[in-house]
Amino acid sequence: MKVIEAPLDGCLIIEPEVYSDSRGFFYESFHVERYRKEAGLNLPFVQDNFSYSERGVLRGLHFQRTRPQGKLVRVTHGESFDVAVDIRRGSTSFGQWYGLILSAENRRQFWMPPGFAHGFLALSETLAFEYKCTDYYQPEDEGGIAWDDPELAIQWPLQNGVPLKLSVKDSSAPMFSAYRDEIFL
């Protein structure tokens, strides 16, 4: 597998080795020893999540306040624009974002260590999105940041004529500045 350092401190892009022939393809989507040795992912994964979305669905930016989750994300069907925002106070990339295309075709995975807000936009007609987490989801610990925060200025690849579909919670999430004094990461 190929491990690429992303511009945010601690984030990685992982490209698995894919074996293809006329019948299709095969690749290891996770192997605890290889990911530990080759990518330095030493945290235990305790929860796997699956999300299905239609084109235009934007989910995020979500995080856990006191029990942050590291996430290893990938797309198994379709295409998404995946975004991480560093909310770790004292980090060299605090308040910065990074986004990349994840798709079933490119088979890339994106690792965000604990302390990042995460979101994604479904670019394809349908999207199947999977992620491994290093801590359990705690509804009472969840926080959110506005997807369109002008300070973060995330360059979402919005598609002409495709309406955004947001949850009530995501459409009313506070700005990044509201979290600066609350962050314990």
Q: Residue positions in the annotated binding site?
A: 23, 28, 47-49, 59, 71, 118, 142, 165
Q: What distance, in Å, lies between the first and last C-alpha atoms of the chain?
A: 30
Q: Which of 35, 62, 98, 179 is catalytic?
A: 62
Is residue 161 left, alpha or beta, with left meaning phi > 0 and alpha meaning psi from -120 to 50? left
Is 27 catalytic? The answer is no
Q: How far is CA 122 from the centre of its chain?
A: 12
Instruction: Say which residues have a Cβ less than 8 Å from residue 100's Cβ, sequence separation at least 6.
Output: 6, 13, 81, 82, 108, 110
**Rounded to 5°, angle at Cα 132 from 131 and 134:** 140
Q: How far is CA 59 from the centre of its chain?
A: 10
Q: Which of 27, 31, 52, 131 is catalytic?
A: 131
Q: For residues 64 and 139, is the Cβ–Cβ distance under 8 A?
A: no
Is 131 catalytic? The answer is yes
What tokens were used for 96? 């910065």
From the annotation, which residues make up the binding site for substrate?
Answer: 23, 28, 47-49, 59, 71, 118, 142, 165
Give, in order, the Cα–Cα distances in Å from 178 to each of 43, 93, 144. Answer: 29, 18, 10
Question: Which residues are part of the catalytic machinery?
Answer: 62, 131
